Amino acid sequence: MLRFMYLTLIFLSVWNTSVQPASALLKKTMDESVKEELTAFVSRLFTDRAQYLIDHDKDHLMKHYVQDIASSRHALHREIARGDYVKAWAEHRGLHFTDAHSHVRIVRIVERGNEIFISAVQSLRLDYAYTHSRQPVQSFGIGTRHGFTLTKKNGMWQILREWYLDPLEENPKLIPDSSGMIFRPHEERKDGSTLEEEQAVPSNRKQRYNRQKAVDYANKYAGTAWGAGHNNRYNQKYRDYSGEGGDCTNFASQCVGDQEEGGGLPKKAGWRHIPSVGGTQTWVQTDAFKNFLIHSGYGRVIASGSFEQIVKPSDRFPKGAIAALKPGDLIAYVMKGDVDHFAIVVGFDVLGYVLVNCHSADRYRVPFDLGWDKHTRYILIHIRD
State whether the Cα torsion 252-257-258-261 is positive or negative.
positive
Residues near 114 by beta carbon (within 8 Å), at least 6 away in sequence: 151, 152
Q: If you average pLDDT over residues 54-60, what whole number do you get?
A: 98
**SS3 category, 203:** coil
Q: Is the pLDDT of residue 3 over 90?
A: no
CATH number belonging to the domain at 2-173, selected among 1.10.10.60, 3.20.20.220, 3.10.450.50, 1.20.1260.10 = 3.10.450.50
Q: What is the rounded average pLDDT of the residues 177-191?
A: 66
* Domain residue limits, the chain: 2-173, 195-383
pLDDT per residue as tens digits for the range 96-106: 999 999 999 99
In b/e form, how buried is each residue of 124-137, taking b as 16+ CB within 10 angstroms? bbbebbbeeeeeee
pLDDT at position 204 is: 54
Pairing of strands 377-383, 362-367: unpaired
Which pLDDT tens digit goes with each residue over 187-223? 533 333 344 444 454 445 567 999 999 999 999 999 9
At how many degrees (to 10) do helices 248-257 and 286-296 cross? 30
Q: Is the pLDDT of residue 9 over 50?
A: no
- Digit-coded pLDDT (tens) for 297-344: 999 999 999 999 999 999 999 999 999 999 999 999 999 999 999 999
Closest CA to 144 of 29, 237, 40, 53: 53
Measure the CA–CA gap between 343 and 145, rounded to whole angstroms: 19
The predicted structure's pLDDT at residue 76: 98
Q: Give yes or no for residue 20 having a pLDDT over 90.
A: no
Q: Which pLDDT belongs to residue 179?
A: 83
Percent of the chain with pLDDT over 70: 87
Confidence at residue 181, expressed as pLDDT on a 0 to 100 scale: 86
Q: Is 248's pLDDT higher than 60?
A: yes
Q: Can you give the pLDDT at residue 25?
A: 43
- Confidence at 29, pLDDT banded by 50, 70, 90: low
Residue 52 or residue 200, greater confidence: 52
269-291: average pLDDT:
96
- Summarize pLDDT for 75-117 with one digit per residue, the tens: 999 999 999 999 999 999 999 999 999 999 999 999 988 999 9
Q: Vertex 90, ends 89 and 93: CA angle to 5°?
A: 90
- The whole-angstrom separation of Cα 234 and Cα 273 is 15
DSSP 78-119: HHHHHHHHHHHHHHHTTEEEEEEEEEEEEEEEEEETTEEEEE
For residue 355, which phi and psi values (nearest 5 degrees)?
Answer: -115, 145
Task: Look at 8-22, 30-44, 230-244, 296-310 and tell me which has the smallest mean pLDDT.
Answer: 8-22
5-19, 102-116, 347-361: range with lowest mean pLDDT = 5-19
More confident residue, 225 or 13: 225
Residue 264 clears pLDDT 90, i.e. is over it? yes
pLDDT at 256: 99
pLDDT at residue 10 greater than cutoff 70: no
For the cut 60, the answer to whether the pLDDT of residue 74 exceeds it is yes
Computed on alpha carbons and rounded to an integer, the radius of gyration of the chain in Å comes to 21
Calpha distance 73→37 (Å, rounded): 23
Pairwise CA distance, residues 319 & 315, whole Å: 9
Do residues 248 and 358 lie in contact, with contact meaning Cβ atoms separated by under 8 Å?
yes
Q: Which residues contact 225 (CB under 8 A, 6 or more apart)?
A: 123, 124, 141, 142, 143, 232, 357, 362, 363, 364, 366
336-367 in b/e form (b: 16+ CB < 10 A) is eeebbbbbbbbbbbbbbbbbbbbbbbbbbbbb
Q: What is the pLDDT of residue 64?
A: 98
Does residue 47 register a pLDDT over 70? yes
| Distance, CA of 161 to CA of 112 (rounded, Å) | 14
Instruction: Share the mean pLDDT of the chain.
Output: 90
Q: What is the mean pLDDT of residues 43-66?
A: 98
pLDDT tier at 183, thresholds 50, 70, 90 = confident
Q: Which of 1-10, 62-71, 350-359 comes out lowest in average pLDDT?
A: 1-10
Higher pLDDT pick, 304 / 361: 304
Q: What is the pTM of this model?
A: 0.89
